[in-house]
Amino acid sequence: MPYVDGFVIAVPKANKDKFIAHARLGDPVFMDNGATRIFECWQDDVPEGKQTDFFRAVACQEDEAVVFSWIEWPDKATRDAGMAKVMDVMTNDPRMDPEKNPMPFDGARMIFGGFEPVVVFGA
């Protein structure tokens, strides 16, 4: 059964191109370590909720956009092994080096988690 890591972050709108460059450089590290697909999605049609919403979840400011991302893995075992390898290479892979590929957002406001799909339709 596939496994999914999901992420929601607030990115300054002025950093959209920097975010895309950051993802294009860093995302292949996950693919190199077993991920099958990665989506990085920029806010387009995100409504404000009455009780909660994506904006509140990451303390999104007026000059920021919500980014919703996920990494698909073939299964949880591959994800666990792959993420362990990613954490190991973070210290010696220039694609993950914060000096060479700094996060263009406040990582402290990122929400994330691993999810086991319970219903899957389509490709």
- Mean of the pLDDT values across residues 91-95? 75
Q: Greatest CA span in the chain, whole angstroms?
A: 45
Report the relative pairing of strands 37-42 and 111-115 from DSSP bridges.
Answer: unpaired
> Taking a C-beta distance cutoff of 8 angstroms, is the pair 8, 80 a contact?
no
Distance from C-alpha of 94 to C-alpha of 34, rounded to nearest angstrom: 19
Distance from C-alpha of 87 to C-alpha of 32, rounded to nearest angstrom: 13
pLDDT value at position 99?
Answer: 75
Pick 80 or 101 by higher pLDDT: 80
Give the global pTM.
0.89
Distance from C-alpha of 13 to C-alpha of 120, rounded to nearest angstrom: 32
Q: What is the pLDDT of residues 23-66, one digit of tens each?
A: 999 999 999 999 999 999 999 999 999 999 999 999 999 999 99
Give, in degrees to the nearest 5, the angle at Cα 91 between 58 and 18.
45
As a whole number, the mean pLDDT across the chain is 92
Residue 101 predicted with pLDDT over 90: no
The pLDDT confidence band at residue 88, using thresholds 50, 70 and 90, is confident
Distance from C-alpha of 31 to C-alpha of 25, rounded to nearest angstrom: 11
pLDDT value at position 38?
Answer: 98
